Amino acid sequence: KAHRRDEYRATRHAASPGEIGLPSKRFYRQRAHANVFSDHALSYPEKPEAWNWRELYPGVAQVGQEVQSAEDSPQNGENITPAAYRGVEIADIGCGFGGLLFALSPLLPQTLILGLEIRSSVTEFVQEKIRALQGQARKGDPTSSTETETETATLTPYQNIACIRSNTMKFMPNYFGRGQLSKIFLCFPDPHFKHRKHKARIVSPTLAAEYAYALRVGGVVYTITDVEDLHRWMVDGFSANPLFRRLGEEELEGDECVRVMKAETEEGKKVERNGGTKWVACFQRLEDPPW
């Protein structure tokens, strides 16, 4: 079985991105839990400034260069600033097989989205799928590849997403500086039912401080789970931190991200099939109080 896996992956690696089809999940399955306290064999940047995130978004790097050579000021308004200057702004922590990434990519084409996943095989699947989708998009629309050379700094489809292997509970500050992110997604995290394992949950009052650090004022943390107990736990965790305010139902109504998170994530679909309940809670980052 392992042999077939390796063979499959090797042939995919040999093929050029334009020719390969989407990867098949069954060659990338991995146990659903990972020990967040172990050291693993992770590589991570020393600090955010030392992290070459441009490498992950090759299309963006090109666009960025174009803009730079045209001497465009990066400071002409928040929304006009090309993604290449703003860096990663959305983090999908525990992105799994990447359902949310692929759904968000066309919704927010000018924003760089990064999926972070601790399981190596699953990360590889998402990376493969991104590569394949980017290749297909280029093939289907040959003009898009030349578009980077024109003055419009737009990205071709799926060039604003990337996925890396990381343990965010330990190393989030190594990737994101203070107030860098506008949205953080925590979708269907490992519930860790045992009381003894609760420290391994992705949300805790102490970790909320780290999410608050990485989020800019006004940024939002999106959480969703099918486990009521975990939902309450996450609500408690963020509510305990005065830097977060829970968004009410009516505030979330128009938010496309919530809809996508409910419908497009892999786990979300599974829960749908099982007829389970999905619990959503979103929290907005408030300003630091004076002291």
Q: Which residues bind another protein (CB under 8 A)?
A: 1, 29-32, 34, 36-37, 39-41, 46-48, 119-121, 169-171, 173-174, 178, 191, 193, 195, 199, 204-210, 212-213, 226-230, 232, 241-243, 267, 270-271, 274-277, 288-289, 291
Q: Least distance from C-beta 214 to another protein, angstroms?
A: 9
> By the 8 A CB rule, do 213 and 250 touch?
no
Residues facing residue 161 across a β-bridge: 113
Q: What is the DSSP letter of 178?
A: T
* Residue with smaller CB distance to another protein, 147 or 279: 279
Q: Give the pairing type, strands 112-117 and 161-165.
A: parallel
Q: Pick from 152, 123, 122, 107: which is nearest to 56 by CA?
A: 123
CB atoms within 10 A of CB 14: 8
Q: Pick from 175, 235, 236: which is nearest to 210 by CA?
A: 175
What Rg do the C-alpha atoms of the chain give, in angstroms?
Answer: 19
Q: Least distance from C-beta 44 to another protein, angstroms?
A: 9
From 72, 190, 236, 288, the catalytic residue: 190
- Reply yes or no on whether 92 is catalytic: no
- Token pair for residue 46? 């020393």
Q: Is 244 helix (H, G, I), strand (E, B) or coil?
A: strand
* Residue with smaller CB distance to another protein, 232 or 246: 232
How many helices (H) and strands (E) would you count in the chain? Answer: 12, 7
Q: Least distance from C-beta 143 to another protein, angstroms?
A: 41
Q: Least distance from C-beta 78 to another protein, angstroms?
A: 23
Residues facing residue 165 across a β-bridge: 117
* Residue with smaller CB distance to another protein, 18 or 173: 173
* Residue with smaller CB distance to another protein, 136 or 168: 168
Contacts of 139 (CB under 8 A, 6+ apart): 18
Q: Least distance from C-beta 13 to another protein, angstroms?
A: 17
* Residue with smaller CB distance to another protein, 241 or 284: 241
* Residue with smaller CB distance to another protein, 158 or 211: 211
Q: Least distance from C-beta 200 to another protein, angstroms?
A: 9
Q: Which amino acid is at 70?
A: A
Dump strand ranges (E) for the chain. Answer: 88-93, 112-117, 161-165, 181-187, 215-225, 244-246, 279-285
> By the 8 A CB rule, do 189 and 202 touch?
yes
What is the set of active-site residues? 190
